[in-house]
Amino acid sequence: MSSQSKTEKVKIWLKEYLSEFGEYSGTLEELSGLTGASPYLIKKVLKELEEEGFLKSETKRGKGLLIRLCEKKPEEKEIPATEEEKMGEEKEVQKSEEKKEKKEKKKSLQDTVLTSLLGKDVTVFLISGTRLEGKLLDFDNFTLAMTAPKGKSLVYKHAVATILFDVEQK
């Protein structure tokens, strides 16, 4: 008889795996097969290890699971001994904040153009050859909402070939 519960065995296996490889990418079912435990038990263990601060898990729709070893350890959160170390940490924090700001500021060309066209008349040609005319009401990552002669239309972006619009000269 073993003195360890199945939960503890899975925890140990995950800790060893992440310590060696740093991350796991795959499905819950694949991880279940590797550990020999049920998907329910895997979810339970992941939740417990995440609460302990050992790992960070993300579920990616259609792509499975991404589990990463947490880089932050409580012992490493000590105050730097020298002024140089303090200045180095401040510079790193400042650089990471600047990167975040750049990402937030940078919009895709598509989003920029579509935002400028909201409420304006556009002509949309679909890949089937159909021509739609109307005002652009709204858009998201996958669709365009437009007015049409018979009401409102929801057009999937993957079906769009071209969007024509008038450029207003100022």
Does residue 119 sit in helix, strand or coil? coil
Which domains are delineated in the chain? Answer: 6-69 (1.10.10.10), 109-165 (2.30.30.100)
Total number of residues shown for the chain: 170
| Per-residue pLDDT, 119 | 92
* pLDDT, tens digit (0-9, with 9 covering 90-100), for 48-90: 888 888 888 887 766 678 888 876 544 444 555 566 666 777 7
Residue 34: per-residue pLDDT:
85
170 pLDDT band, cuts 50/70/90, is very low
Quick one: CA dihedral 105, 109, 112, 114, positive or negative?
A: negative
Is residue 142 within 8 A of residue 155, CB to CB? The reply is: no
Average pLDDT, the chain: 82
Residues 146, 122: contact at Cβ < 8 Å? yes
